[in-house]
Amino acid sequence: MGSRGQITEILSQLEHDLKSLEIAYEKYFLGTEKRAPEKERQQITLRMRKMITHYIPQTDLRFKLQSITSRFNSYCGYWDRIQRLIDEGRYERHTSRISRSESFKPPADKVSAEETGNPVDNLYEKLVTAHKDCELRPPNREQVANFLSKQKEAIQKRFGDKPVDFVVVTESGKPKIKVRAKR
């Protein structure tokens, strides 16, 4: 293979490239890069395989190679898991960005005929829509009405005689009813 200095240099370069690959994957997961760095990953994989097949007589250098290989394999499992979550639409960084962008959409100019009716029915319809968006089974109307009647005292204690609005929000992939004072 080579002298101790050459092996040390190769291992240092491999460690540096692994760190660069880790940064590239984080950029991809954050959304700043459009594509996963698969080509770089394949190159490092091939270099690791070549290094493992060579005999290294120095114990400390063998240990360093094994630790780099172990760390690379751990990262590969992590990257594959995160990629699978992104593909399934369950990766939190991506879903939070999507929900933030949806919350900043301008409200519709038209007021539907449904919104002028019973407030419990309107809230229930919004809750059902939010549950369907999250691919969850929505509660029945009686459950929502019972929940609101049970919370009436707590709402009155918190807000007093101020008028309140009920808003359906999605937090951590689950729809929730929030109470806010009207402005």
Q: What is the pTM of this model?
A: 0.52
Average pLDDT over residues 66-73: 96
Give per-residue burial for 33-49: e unless 16+ CB within 10 Å, then b: eeebbeeebeebeeebe
Residue-level pLDDT at 114: 46
The residue count for the chain: 183
Query: Residue 122: which pLDDT band, with cuts at 50, 70 and 90?
Result: confident
Residue-level pLDDT at 113: 39
